[in-house]
Structure 1
Amino acid sequence: MSNREFHGHIGRTYDESEPWWPEQTRAPEDAPNVMMVVLDDVGFGQLGCYGGLIDTPNIDRIADNGLRYNNFHTTALCSPTRSCLMTGRNHHSNAMAGITEISTGFPGYNGHIPHENGMVSEMLVEQGYSTYALGKWHLTPAEAGSAAGPYDQWPLGRGFERFYGFLGGDTDQYTPTLVHDNHQAEPPATPDEGYHLTEDLAQRTIEFISDAKQVDPDKPFFTYFCPGACHAPHQVPKEWADKYAGEFDMGWDEAREMILEQQKKMGIVPENTDLSPHNPDVPHWDSLSEDEQRLYARMMEVFAGFLEHTDAQIGKVLDYLEELGELDNTIIMLVSDNGASAEGGPTGSVNENRFFNNVPESLEENLEAMDELGGPKYFNHYPWGWTWAGDTPFQRWKRETHRGGTSDPLVVSWPEGIDARGEIRSQFTHAIDLVPTILELVGIDAPDEIKGVSQSPIEGISFAYSLEEPDAPEQHTTQYFEMLGTRAIYHDGWRAVHPWPLGKVMTAEDLSATTLEDSEWELYNLREDFSEAHDVAAENPEKILELAQLWWTEAGKHNVLPLDGRGIQRLAEPRPQPGKSRDRYVYYPGTQHIPENAAVRVLNRDHSITADITVPEGGAEGVLLAHGARSGGYSLYVKNNRLRYVHNYVGVEEYEVIADKPIPEGEISVRMEFDATGEPNMSEGKGAPATIRLYYGDEQVGEGDIPTSIPNTMGLTAGLSCGRDAVNAVTDEYRDQTPFEFTGDITRVTVDVSGEPFTHHEAAMDQIMARE
């Protein structure tokens, strides 16, 4: 507060002066709390209250106390949708055409949400709300996710007062990469102690709300609760998956029919709704072998357990709000960020890092893993036949602009403010509509300015008009869609879709083939064809022309251009990096977790790791430098008084070289040299073979050959740590001693990467896109 804002009087002494205090900003009297719950990769037909085959009693409880919308839409991808939910502006207006890892240097694509597009957190915190974000964020530019910042696009830079979760697109549920406010944090317990991220997030949500309500009970809160569920890895304690034993043995073809039948009974879809045509990418269940059916059914059981477990954690938060007496005056909006995910591919996966490195998974190996799926050992994802079933009754899935990618659940509850209970609304709504609806219900106008920054117009339309009027005419009558070159446009009950060709798997390489021909549009009359089952383009050429032209008009308004269907080239697009490129990286003890995109890249190139250490009398042990996780990486460490280097080849094999003599006491430099002896073979999932040499000072003390190394990536949840292996140990050699902190002293660890790098852009693109 400056002196110019002082409205009292200052005299020569206190007796001659008059004090003054600025009036505290308070929310409107009896203003409701707001809680936005964002599920990840949950399809239209997976929640119990949307006709799904999975029990979700707590989400059903929200629906029973409020409304379900059956015509709610997202962008078809995670970060773009979340930017819409937070700002009320379209994803290209937010510069979030895709996830930030594939950003390009154009206004709609650069991954930096402009501050003139204020977030609802920024609007509410200035009106006297407490603001909390928990769980997945994935709205920070890829180059800004490390401790070097900048922090203006982290949650605390966008109006949230407290944050506990993870910045990236996914994380391990048992050993997550956590951020608390603006600093990294370690999980409060281990998997052996029963830790699971979703449970932790629910407890933290309760703690955040409790902390403020105990001090200022009348102050309302905005809570953005975003568990990583049900994005891969599908991880949940075994008993939750076992509940569904045998429940999916019928297969995905029959599951779709069962889900549609339940949806019709519930009124979620019209009685005349047809199942969309068979997806040519998906084999018929009856064509699979008995072993394939057994494995794929178990993968779905694990997913089902994961979703119900998530529902139970949501229930804990609801129960707490009820105990607090706040539930009835809390606006709850629960959504999913896009359709169900097909990133498990046609056969599913138990370790997606093998997929990213082009290392094939065999049915036999995956069958051996079946009993432990959902546990901390595997990073599993179901096959895309279950994705297709999860998006019933629609076609296609996440990343694509058919309704299977863009139509999602929206459940709204506010017992004190909405009289309707358990009803369904069919007005068209979109992710950009939540912010204006919240503002209208709370009684706050959208600000003209936030922290000195003039605000752009909100592009969404409040659907508050529909809360009590089931037959009210829809007010959001036009909406464009674009994702990775696929497009769609909704207008007055018609929907035109410019798709990725059916029968063709969307890959990084194939994306570059996306065309701009307006002749390829499909057309659906949603007033008569809810599920987009019947393409009527041939009978309505004038309507196609009208909608195609409308799409280009909307694209011009919202920074969609230049339309970009590139794959590999888009990945290789130059973009800002966290620091200048260099040949030497120096790390210090206490470095907990440097994200993959900010860490030194050593794959397929000559490099060395030198640790300047002091070994105390009696010896020392522990990690000097570790990079990666159980699913792949490397570690330089000391055990049994000898220097060791281990290279974990995508969780398949560990190659280790051990010094042939004990490490000396006192100050010493120890070194590992990686001398590549051949070229990588990316098509076969083989990184460069190498000779590994170990040194104490200038004395060579060990040597060994590794036949192959990791070709492309350490993994989505990988990070680099110095002096310890921070969370998910690279090697079985010290997993039971994690984090296996070095017991001597480390001055510094230097990584020299002056050798020429090798990059396989297509494999890297697949890895990045799975983080949506």
Structure 2
Amino acid sequence: MALNEYEAGSGFTGTIGRTADESTPAWPKPTRAAPGAPNVLMVVLDDTGFGQLSCYGSPIATPNFDSLAAGGLRYNNMHTTALCSPSRSCIVSGRNHHSNGMACITEFATGYPGYNGVVPFENGFLSEMLLGQGYNTFMVGKWHLTPSNQETAAGPYDRWPLSRGFERFYGFLGGDTSQWYPDLVYDNHQVEPPATPEQGYHLTEDLVDRSIQFVVDAKQVDPDKPFYLHLCFGATHAPHHAPKEWADRYAGQFDDGWDAYRERVFAEQKALGIVPEDAELSRHDPDVPDWESLPEPARRLYSRMMEVFAGFLSHADHHLGRLLEFLREQGELDNTIVMVISDNGASAEGGPTGTTNEAQFFNNAQESLEDSLAVIDEIGGPKHFNHYPWGWTWAGNTPFRRWKRETYRGGSSDPFIVSWLQGIRARGEVRTQYAHIIDMVPTVLDALGLEPPATIRGITQSPLQGVSFAHTFDDADAPTKRHTQYFEMLGHRSIYHDGWRAVCPWPGPSFTEAGAGFGQPISADKLTELDATGWELYHVAEDFAENHDVASEHRDKLIALIGMWYAEAGKYGVLPVDGSGVARLLVEKPQAAVPRDSYVYRPDTQSIPFSAGPRVLNRPHSITADVDLPEDGAEGVLLSQGTAAGGYSLFIKDRKLHYVHNYVGRGLYKVSTPDVLPAGPHKLRFEFEPTGKPDMANGRGTPGLMQLYVDGTLVADAEAPVTTPFILNPGALTCGANPGSPVTPDYPSPFRFTGTLRTVTIDVSGDLITDTESELRAAMARQ
């Protein structure tokens, strides 16, 4: 007998008498998806360029992405915002990034509606929409949509994944993390990885394992309930971490350099029909040296960095294949809408020479070529935080010019694959219709036969700003529904309209031509000058890779597009135009907690992100541990911050107190007590007393005297000739252990303290010295 059910919000449809025997029950109708509703799988890659998947012409093997393309569609005219968090906000909301308050990453938030880093609740996420339609919703991997000051155990949690429509979350909240020792959050709490690199752990595999688990957990209870899985790999964002055997598969394959890579990929793109037959390869970028001009040792190093990147991407492809095979075995793949996208073009944040440790780059302590070569066989492994040089970035965006952070097509055009075996008849075809990532949500809703909700949790929803391209699935000649799209990123502007594209690069077409680097402010007078003389015009319907600036021949067209850009900017909250880096980084923002001079920590609590912890670098400070040592002694970490890439640790080993400062992975400066610590309660204290001034420009933090005290008595001291000048990245602070990558080889991770540790107090009442340029580089690398 069917249950009597009534819609939520409507009146009770049963009857109520004096007793149950003269009453008829009825139940609120559960939210159920339509019978046969397809699953939705979004796969978001990070910093993967247009020319880096093999189905887009790359020599990097990506057979599982290729299989999705072979069974579905590849789009060659899909566009992103050119940066991480802004793009991710568009992918899940169907609204433009400024409308989401995500003009940039949240670390660069400023006090304007389009820039504050706070996605408004009236811009509902696809997860919230599908949750209301009876779907299970899972978020796995990189999030980076929570204001940076809210990524702590103090919350607030209302902009964490579980508060934005996802029922389960497993991944990391920030912009990047080690793939070997990730900063993991499970639902709303921090967890440690389930294994170590020595045991074969890698984040990519873990994310796929968790994705499968989430689906299995739900399907074994309700096999007919569809799911929405939003899977955001750490690949291929730095650090480029790959098992050595995967990198070794590419040994020697990039020895001919980035110029040759571009030619090879471009030829293959034409053969695949990914670019038009009459397309031209973009110019040699002025910021990139000719491969043959480099000395042989540099070519050898850069080749290996690219081999590691390629192994990283192929490794991610392999594990995606495990997920696809699982869905196939479960009979779910045919009725799953799969969309694959990257958040922006390939990343140039490794700089012209790349790095084996981004902490050195952030701290102006860039390693020499000789130092990099000394660890060439370790690149990609747990000891390093590596990123390739920007010559490979430029090559990775073939055939386009430039890269991530810039709104030329190299920064804003990405591979995009759609597969839905049961719902799309076309197989292996290329689609050329213009599209933008804000169109993904409307397309999914269209394919599911759903309308966007008018309200979500009682909040009236803003209109979607994207338009569906589902009509192109089985019609290669269908016209695009998107005729206009603006772009703005860090003052770099452009606009597309019906086959034309106007670009106003900032600070210029390249750093070399501009005579300036990233992060230059734009004054009102400068903006007027740029609008008068700084715009370029490309007829991209005929000039695929933006090679021919026709601004002088089509002045009327250019003026109209500039006016259109300002109209769109007003509509979507793009103003004020801001090209600055340092100023945006240093602007005063609301804080989760007021800065203070004393911080108290306890063991067995969540780690503290670097941005929320005490700033101990380049200032007098002390660390005091209140402990009780048993008769047979104790060992372990009292307090640590950072990793093998740089950090510090106060610990007990061999019944002695030790402090180690790890200078950007390059030097270890230590001080230890000469005698064993007696049993009983103690106050164990480390003090740092500066003895000179920092040399920030040359990557040398404040030198100082490292001192150890036991119950108020000085027992040991030593000089640190140099310290970390600016940032520890990764820089999580942990009390009572050193989880993940150990700061020092003196102990194995996590080296938990075995005695009684009550509290550890950090005092930072001394003056703080900072370097804004380094702070800027570090923040941008989190994109």
TM over 0.5: yes
Q: Is the contact made by 1:508 and 1:762 (CA closer than 8 Å) also made in structure 2?
A: no
- 2:591 and 2:422 map into 1 onto residues whose CA distance is 49
Q: Does 1:746 align with 2:753?
A: no
**Residue of 70, 85, 92 corresponding to 1:86:** 92
Aligned to 2:4: none
Matched ranges for 1:619-638 at <5 A: 619-638=633-652
Q: Secondary structure at the match of 2:761?
A: strand
**Residue of 41, 66, 72 corresponding to 1:66:** 72
- 2:676 and 2:605 map into 1 onto residues whose CA distance is 26
Sequence identity (%): 58
- 2:311 and 2:684 map into 1 onto residues whose CA distance is 47
Matched ranges for 1:576-655 at <5 A: 576-655=590-669
CA-CA distance at 1:22 after TM superposition: 1.1
Q: Is the contact made by 1:508 and 1:766 (CA closer than 8 Å) also made in structure 2?
A: no
CA-CA distance at 1:317 after TM superposition: 0.5
Q: Is the contact made by 1:42 and 1:230 (CA closer than 8 Å) also made in structure 2?
A: yes
Aligned to 1:552: 566
- 1:756 and 1:298 map into 2 onto residues whose CA distance is 43
- 1:723 and 1:364 map into 2 onto residues whose CA distance is 37
Q: Structure 1 stretch 273-282 or stretch 495-504: which is displaced more? A: 495-504
Unaligned runs of 5+ in 1: none
Aligned to 1:767: 778
Q: Is the contact made by 1:83 and 1:96 (CA closer than 8 Å) also made in structure 2?
A: yes
- 1:206 and 1:609 map into 2 onto residues whose CA distance is 43
Aligned to 2:509: 502
Q: Under a length normalisation based on structure 1, what TM-score does the superposition of the two structures give? A: 0.98
Q: Is the contact made by 1:593 and 1:726 (CA closer than 8 Å) also made in structure 2?
A: no
Q: Secondary structure at the match of 2:28?
A: coil
Q: Is the contact made by 2:135 and 2:226 (CA closer than 8 Å) also made in structure 1?
A: yes
Q: Does 1:243 align with 2:257?
A: no
- 1:79 and 1:452 map into 2 onto residues whose CA distance is 26
Q: Is the contact made by 1:607 and 1:753 (CA closer than 8 Å) also made in structure 2?
A: yes
- 1:302 and 1:58 map into 2 onto residues whose CA distance is 19
Q: Secondary structure at the match of 1:298?
A: helix
Aligned to 1:721: 734
Q: Is the contact made by 1:279 and 1:502 (CA closer than 8 Å) also made in structure 2?
A: no
- 2:497 and 2:737 map into 1 onto residues whose CA distance is 56
- 1:641 and 1:515 map into 2 onto residues whose CA distance is 64
- 1:9 and 1:590 map into 2 onto residues whose CA distance is 55
**Residue of 180, 196, 200 corresponding to 2:202:** 196
Counterpart residue type for residue 143 of structure 2: W
Q: Is the contact made by 2:355 and 2:366 (CA closer than 8 Å) also made in structure 1?
A: no
Matched ranges for 1:406-555 at <5 A: 406-500=412-506, 501-504=508-511, 507-508=517-518, 510-511=520-521, 515-516=527-528, 517-518=530-531, 519-555=533-569
Q: Secondary structure at the match of 1:654?
A: strand
CA-CA distance at 1:21 after TM superposition: 1.6
- 2:746 and 2:589 map into 1 onto residues whose CA distance is 38
Q: How many residues align?
A: 769
Q: Under a length normalisation based on structure 2, what TM-score does the superposition of the two structures give? A: 0.97
Aligned to 2:213: 207
Aligned to 2:35: 29
Deviation string for 1:715-738 (max 9, x for gaps)?
A: 1x220000111222111111x2x1
Matched ranges for 1:660-671 at <5 A: 660-671=674-685
- 1:693 and 1:15 map into 2 onto residues whose CA distance is 82
Counterpart residue type for residue 502 of structure 1: P
Q: Is the contact made by 1:280 and 1:502 (CA closer than 8 Å) also made in structure 2?
A: no
Matched ranges for 1:319-398 at <5 A: 319-398=325-404
User: Pairwise CA RMSD of aligned residues?
Assistant: 1.4
Q: Secondary structure at the match of 2:611?
A: helix
Aligned to 2:3: none
**Residue of 174, 183, 188 corresponding to 2:189:** 183
Deviation string for 1:142-175 (max 9, x for gaps)?
A: 0100010011111101000001000011110111
- 1:449 and 1:565 map into 2 onto residues whose CA distance is 36
Q: Is the contact made by 2:494 and 2:502 (CA closer than 8 Å) also made in structure 1?
A: yes
- 1:53 and 1:555 map into 2 onto residues whose CA distance is 39
Q: Is the contact made by 2:89 and 2:97 (CA closer than 8 Å) also made in structure 1?
A: yes
CA-CA distance at 1:210 after TM superposition: 0.8
Counterpart residue type for residue 732 of structure 1: P
CA-CA distance at 1:421 after TM superposition: 0.4
- 1:102 and 1:660 map into 2 onto residues whose CA distance is 47
Aligned to 1:758: 769
Counterpart residue type for residue 139 of structure 2: A
Aligned to 2:718: 704
CA-CA distance at 1:580 after TM superposition: 1.1
Unaligned runs of 5+ in 2: 1-6
Q: Secondary structure at the match of 2:345?
A: coil
Q: Is the contact made by 1:660 and 1:701 (CA closer than 8 Å) also made in structure 2?
A: yes
Q: Is the contact made by 1:399 and 1:483 (CA closer than 8 Å) also made in structure 2?
A: yes
Counterpart residue type for residue 173 of structure 2: L
CA-CA distance at 1:15 after TM superposition: 2.6
Q: Is the contact made by 2:490 and 2:519 (CA closer than 8 Å) also made in structure 1?
A: no
Q: Secondary structure at the match of 2:220?
A: helix
